[in-house]
Structure 1
Amino acid sequence: MLERYFHPFEAGRGLQEQLRERLLNAIFDGAMLPSEVMPSSRKLSKLLKVSRNTVVLVYEQLAQDGYLTPSERRGYFINEKFLRQQLNISLRPSSQKLFDRPDHAPNWESRMQTESAQMLAIVKPRNWREYRYPFIYGQIEADEQTAARWRDCARIAAMGAHMRSWVDDQVTLDDPLLVEQIIQRVLPKRGIKARPEEILVTIGTQNSLYMLAQLLGRPGLIVGLEDPGYVDARNIFDLIGCELRPLRIDGQGLVVDEQLNGCEMLFCTPSHQSPTGVTMPVYRRLELLACARERDFLVIEDDYESEQNYLGNNHPSLKSFDDSGRVIYLGSLTKTLLPGLRLGFIAADPVLIHELRALRRYIYRHPPSNNQRTLALFLSMGHYDAHARRQRDSLARKWRLISRALAEYLPDFHASGMAGGSSVWVTCPAELDAWVLQRLVAKRGVLIEPGDIHFLGRERPQYHFRLGFGAIAEALIEPGISALGDAWREMKCNVQVESTANL
């Protein structure tokens, strides 16, 4: 029964860590009973093709932590008493669910005021690294140089005066060194001038949006959203009860015309429209700001991929042209650095920042201060800029490779987006269902992401998909697109055979 918990180990992670994790999963799932002896170290090492010492060390660690009990001459047993005391669970055979609902349990469904779990959301496979050609968006290739420099900064942050800056509960305050670096090193590249009272550090864009929705949203508030657009923004405003208005885009991003009439707030991605990747030109940004002033609506600008224009200079942000204070700027500090860090910021009118800071206190007080200080050091030492340059050069090469490969192997498809960002938006022939294509190419080791979820409304076109290229190695891009082209030709042949058979 244990075998199903020991699928191939992941590259880049320690064997002891993974073995411990999987043994605990088996214990919690009830795959092993307290009355049964754990597999011997010899047997388990042979099953997993790992050193016996590795198994012995993991068993010893689990025993030290209380999960297992050693028995002389018999081996290790699950310490059920410890688990009952510490985790308040009982172990049962795997044929029963660990979280069976007890008698007289409350009816949670009738008590919940929202149904977040029922919303359509982007789901990415956890095992995406197992695909040979992972065209997944929002992930990056491992950068050992960046990781090493981050470790150095974390070490420095844990020493002396730096440590004293974050060991205390800061309540509502942010790390002043990080705020200083955002003002001096990050925002000027986007043409933005700001004071400390205009900056709030958050744990990412979703967190920024959620707080804004809590503070500014209300049932019935008309929020304009690009269509197709950013799924999480749509769901966050929907949770508050806002009225969502889909807004048309074209090859230059959001269309500024009468469709904006009646909007009270608007969310947009001018630098690289999410998900199509097109860039809003400066003249249209000025038109949007003039429209916002004239019709008195707020604009939330998500500048999530601002530093990645491969063929020219970056356009100034929408916020840089704002002289009325109605643009709320969302920045990500770690999305293209180390996505798991989850740090971002809001730059906005100080009155709004003051209220957001007070609201944040009741959610999580402040982002972890040690990570804030580490990132501040990373920025101040120039490591962030060096990483951005290396990544920009790498993504530029990948963009050229994927553009050429799409033109060669999928000439019937159209890829949109400017020379920037880390993905391309692909429009297929109308008869294609991107979900069918996804399942077909997965058999060839290719991972793609169907694009219908990015559209508002029930009638969502099925003939778009997104290809992320931030996480795939350069050498694998052309063969991956070639495999995608083979799958498309196989689909066309199958359709032709079915059509002939129906004649």
Structure 2
Amino acid sequence: MELHIRLEGRKGLTEQLYQQLRAGIESGHLAAGTQLPPTRLLAEQLGVSRKTVAEAYSRLTYDNLLSGKVGRGTFIAPRLPVQHNANENVPLAAAESLERWHQRATVLGRRALDAPSRYDFVGGASSKAQFPYDHWRSCLQYALRRSQRHTDRQFSPQGLPELREAIAHHIAYARGVHCTGADVLVCNGAQQALDLIARVLVEPGSKVAMEDPGYPPARQLFLALGAQLQSVPVDGQGLCVEQIADGTRLIYVTPSHQFPLGMPMSEARRQALLARAAELGALVIEDDYDCEFRYQGPAAEALQRLDRHGLVAYVGTFSKTLLPELRLGYAVLPPAVMQAACVAKHLTDWHSPSLQQWALARFIGEGHLNRHIRRCHEVYSARRERILARLDGDLAPWFSAVPASAGFHLSALARPGLDVEQLINLARKVEVGLYSLAPFFSEAPVQPGLLLGFGAIELLDIDPALDRVADTLQSLS
């Protein structure tokens, strides 16, 4: 390590060195645990005597700023954080704005801070054991070679053309989405797609409608932008379209696999939603978050394919299909929205990481994505069937499953009299992670129950976990 030290003149060299090192330590530029150069090496670099450096080190050690470790060297000593007097802080003029953002925290964000249980039915998490790491590594190496040959430093905020074309072909095949690469905007996950769409359409006071229960990060995003949010109830056919208020300009739905309950939106309700959107001139966000995995019956067409008026924005993600760490998603946008969304994307982060885009385009083009989905489909299907068998069997006195044919979570509604929150707390004590449906409700009456994710729990762990849940339920009874 070469320190940035500047000594002037030939007098007071020890003091100069001492003061500069001390300033670097106290400012944090020299972090705790950093190893300093040996006295001989630093003396040679600075052109001073070794005694000068040794004396400076000695004084800093006496001040408890350095610590010597026999046989290893001299290190910056750990320091307690500086304690600021709260009475001296100047209140920020934007304090109220900051407080509003504090209130936007979601249950999903807080859940990420919890330590996972041994048996965890967390929703939205996929199985890393199924991911083809070797194929992905090969695609990343290809991306590095592409980057080495790429001379243009400018990249489109809309995304690399080869990835947009690959996405368009994939979702046309898998979900029946009608689009070309020109209609696709590559984003950092589905959440950024929601943010970009809402940012260009929603102003303070704008009416936005979404399902209740629904996806908390979407709800909090719309509220953060100042939307007048309407929580529209759902029934067995999906969103209750007739309750969407006049003046609504944005409608958020999960029609293929309602989040969190799981039932699909009926064909009649889809047509009614599109008719209501056309009547209002409202854009519909179709969040198709995990519907590549379908287990029974014919796959329902994407709502976007039924759209005849350019009013549906189709949003998808690879974070659930592949890996959460990937953080790549996409939006298929109507022409009226695309240009504004690209401007917003450019102002936000210029573009999504090009290396990962090249790698993902290669991954899709070589067929790895479809093969991965087929492998995961078999795995998730077996896990789903096992959970359903237990819900229809020994757990039936306490729960009933909500009919769902897609995704990698399902919901189970609690029978009357069961205290779901107490069950969750007791299950945590026997190393089983269960999750309540209650946080997903906003204004609609809460339906007590559980969201049971099966993407991250192994098949052989399901019965031992549910045995513990059954024992806990028996004790509650």
In which range does the TM-score fall when normalised by the shorter chain? 0.7 to 0.9
Change (3 A) 1:128 1:401: farther
What amino acid sits opposite 2:260 in the alignment?
P
* Aligned equivalent of 2:89: 105
* Aligned equivalent of 1:403: 388
What amino acid sits opposite 2:141 in the alignment?
R
* Aligned equivalent of 2:330: 345
Change (3 A) 1:128 1:278: farther
Q: Is the 8 A contact 1:136 1:448 kept in 2?
A: yes
What amino acid sits opposite 1:339 in the alignment?
P
Q: CA offsets, 1:402-450, max 9 Å, x none?
A: 0001222321211213122111112113433322221100111100111
List aligned pairs for 1:346-385, cutoff 5 A: 346-385=331-370
Change (3 A) 1:336 1:151: same
* Aligned equivalent of 1:153: 139
How many angstroms does 1:292 deviate by? 1.5
Q: Is the 8 A contact 2:158 2:186 kept in 1?
A: no
Distance in 2, Cα, partners of 1:119 & 1:199? 29
Distance in 1, Cα, partners of 2:235 & 2:389? 23
* Aligned equivalent of 1:333: 318
List aligned pairs for 1:189-268, cutoff 5 A: 189-268=174-253
Q: CA offsets, 1:211-249, max 9 Å, x none?
A: 122111112211111010010110000011111111111
Q: CA offsets, 1:373-422, max 9 Å, x none?
A: 11000000000000111111111111100000122232121121312211
Change (3 A) 1:296 1:463: same
Secondary structure of 2:410 counterpart: strand
Distance in 2, Cα, partners of 1:438 & 1:99? 39
List aligned pairs for 1:72-221, cutoff 5 A: 73=70, 75=72, 78-79=75-76, 92-93=79-80, 100=84, 104-108=88-92, 110-111=94-95, 113-114=97-98, 115-122=100-107, 123-126=110-113, 128-129=115-116, 131-143=117-129, 146-159=132-145, 161=146, 163-165=148-150, 168-170=153-155, 172-221=157-206
| Structure whose alpha-carbon radius of gyration is higher | 2
| More displaced stretch, 230-239 vs 247-256 | 247-256
* Aligned equivalent of 1:24: none
Distance in 2, Cα, partners of 1:203 & 1:221? 25
Q: Is the 8 A contact 1:434 1:462 kept in 2?
A: no
What amino acid sits opposite 1:369 in the alignment?
S
How many angstroms does 1:282 deviate by? 2.4
Q: RMSD between aligned alpha carbons?
A: 2.9
What amino acid sits opposite 1:189 in the alignment?
A
What amino acid sits opposite 1:113 in the alignment?
S
Distance in 2, Cα, partners of 1:365 & 1:201? 11
Secondary structure of 1:362 counterpart: helix
What amino acid sits opposite 1:368 in the alignment?
P
What amino acid sits opposite 2:332 in the alignment?
A
Secondary structure of 2:241 counterpart: coil
Secondary structure of 1:409 counterpart: coil
How many angstroms does 1:467 deviate by? 1.0
| More displaced stretch, 116-125 vs 405-414 | 116-125
Identity rate of aligned residues, in percent? 29
What amino acid sits opposite 2:294 in the alignment?
N
* Aligned equivalent of 1:455: 441
Secondary structure of 2:248 counterpart: coil
Q: Is the 8 A contact 1:166 1:370 kept in 2?
A: no
Q: Structure 1, unaligned stretches of length 5 or more?
A: 1-31, 35-67, 81-90, 493-503
Change (3 A) 1:485 1:72: closer
Confirm or deny that 1:318 pairs with 2:300.
Answer: no
How many angstroms does 1:261 deviate by? 4.2
Q: CA offsets, 1:61-112, max 9 Å, x none?
A: xxxxxxx9884636565425xxxxxxxxxx534xxx5674677434247445
Distance in 2, Cα, partners of 1:128 & 1:333? 24
What amino acid sits opposite 1:322 in the alignment?
D
How many angstroms does 1:334 deviate by? 2.9
What amino acid sits opposite 1:73 in the alignment?
V
Distance in 2, Cα, partners of 1:99 & 1:373? 47
Confirm or deny that 1:477 pairs with 2:462.
Answer: yes
Q: Is the 8 A contact 1:171 1:366 kept in 2?
A: yes
Change (3 A) 1:72 1:473: closer
Q: Structure 2, unaligned stretches of length 5 or more?
A: 1-30, 34-64
Change (3 A) 1:277 1:380: same
How many angstroms does 1:182 deviate by? 1.1
Change (3 A) 1:172 1:101: farther
| More displaced stretch, 369-378 vs 342-351 | 342-351
Q: Is the 8 A contact 1:396 1:420 kept in 2?
A: no
How many angstroms does 1:252 deviate by? 2.1
Change (3 A) 1:145 1:227: closer
How many angstroms does 1:163 deviate by? 4.1
Q: CA offsets, 1:255-307, max 9 Å, x none?
A: 22244544322100001000011111223212211221123322111011121
Distance in 2, Cα, partners of 1:155 & 1:110? 46
Distance in 2, Cα, partners of 1:327 & 1:462? 29
Change (3 A) 1:173 1:121: closer
Q: Is the 8 A contact 2:32 2:76 kept in 1?
A: no
1:437 pairs, out of 418, 423, 446, with 423
Q: Is the 8 A contact 1:199 1:348 kept in 2?
A: yes
Change (3 A) 1:267 1:92: same
What amino acid sits opposite 1:157 in the alignment?
A
* Aligned equivalent of 1:417: 403
Q: TM-score, normalised by structure 1?
A: 0.76
Q: List structure 1 segments (4+ residues) > 6 angstroms apart after TM superposition.
A: none
Distance in 2, Cα, partners of 1:358 & 1:295? 25
How many angstroms does 1:312 deviate by? 2.7
